[in-house]
Chains A and B, each alone.
Chain A
Amino acid sequence: MYKVAIIGAGITGSAIARELSKYENLEVLLIEKDVDVGWGATKANTGIIHPGHEEDPGSHPLRAELCVRGNRLWHDWAVEMDIPLKWPGELMIANDEEELDTLKKYRDIGRKNGVPELRIVGREELWVLEPQVNQEAEFALWAPTAGVIAPWEAVIALVENAVENGVKTHLNTTVEDICVEDGKIVSIVTEKSEIEVDIVINAAGLFADKVSKMIGVGDFEITPRRGQYFLFDEDVDEKPDKLIHPTPTEKTKGVYAVQTVEGNLMLGPTAEDLDRESKDERSTSKEGLDFIWEHSKNLLKELPSRKRISKTFAGLRPEPPGGRYRIESYGDIFGFVNVAGIRSPGLTAAPAIAHKVKDILFKDLNIDLVEKEDWKPEREGITRLSNLSDRKKQKKIEENSDYGRVVCMCKGVTEAEVLEAVERIIKVGGKVTLDSVKFRTLALFGFCQGSYCRAKIAETISEQLEVPIWDIEVRGEGTEYGIGDVKVLQCSEEER
């Protein structure tokens, strides 16, 4: 029996946890510093399952291979784990002959990587494929195998499935040190305890450099690259069906116009390199958003009114030196596996990365993997009443009248769904916060952004957990919804 600690419950760590949950001679722990899963680089991500024609096999063979394999694997993973995933296809657009050469270059890369169905289309076909595209566009590279997913939903599904198959989680837990004796990993130290482990898998995203330094291997730095986004209401007319983006540069795939899996128009991201210490800097800026706005004009025929903004947000992506993935074990320290520097196309590659990590355990660490007989690939997603037929809705309400209590009017989310989310959060060892409920139910995601329903949802949670509403956290300690009873400031310091 090997005890495996995976550090980081982002898309990479969660995919690895799910993959390793198949084996009965592995006892898997998933450790995450945040109070819920997928809140690091994963959360604020464009959510694209890339076809693989943007990864040059000459300079980045590993990225190219994992991207193309990951794209295929997501088909099965989405079905098995009930993850909302659409395959709209993607258009890389070009405005002139010079950019046409770039399209050809990417088409050829795609061919080398074995990406199917790639072809260059002229303006007539382009307009039929996507009527919302900028009318200046002359050509496009059409990649029908591109998909779109909500990355946090994917992570939640992976972790729920992993936990169902025996993986243990330690959320809200920061790894402080890793202990090595006689060239072997013996334990990890967190702020709460020391845990004996045999194998450590470093999937710490932005902080993978810090974790790697704990045992002195892999002298590399991860730089945070900020990406800002606009999200618009789902009923804006200007949203495209296909993913649209410009010809990429070395640094970034550029600003995308995306219809998210929930049907909102999303524009972004920027690619702003921050200094290495700024790994919590998730603020938006006028400059960043103006940049996206200007670049989006090249993608779409028309942009929606800014009055229709649902929200703006920013995320950080981990950028490794040379853009290189480090997925490797080390001969001199048994049990340490780096899965570091997982930048774009990390979301796409995640299932393939998980397979590769399993291969490393088998081939490099010589662990004989024994499959569980009762391993369950399926996971059922949370109930979304608004997606059900009327007959099913009626049945649900008859079974539980809370399915008839709509708490979030914009998204039609019911009290029962909020309570189901609470139960699911507790099951994966997470902390019940307004954000963790939001990412599961989609309540608070609508165009009122919670101004009407956030108090009601907090009340529902507070009754379920039997804690006062003011102690309900938005997203972890220090983010409490209120400061106390409404009369709290009328009391003297001592009375408080």
Chain B
Amino acid sequence: MPETIVTPDTTAYLWLALSLFFLVLFLFVASMALRARSFRKDEALIQQLRDEP
């Protein structure tokens, strides 16, 4: 008698893994963007202090 394979429904785990995968990527990119913004603000502030008489 041929063996019957019942494919499990694991779709929810796929979406969970995909969500977490791109969440980590997003958090890393967002952290770089926030740090860059902070450095730009610092640079502008230092320039402003230098411009003061």
Please say whether chains A and B are actual partners in one complex: no
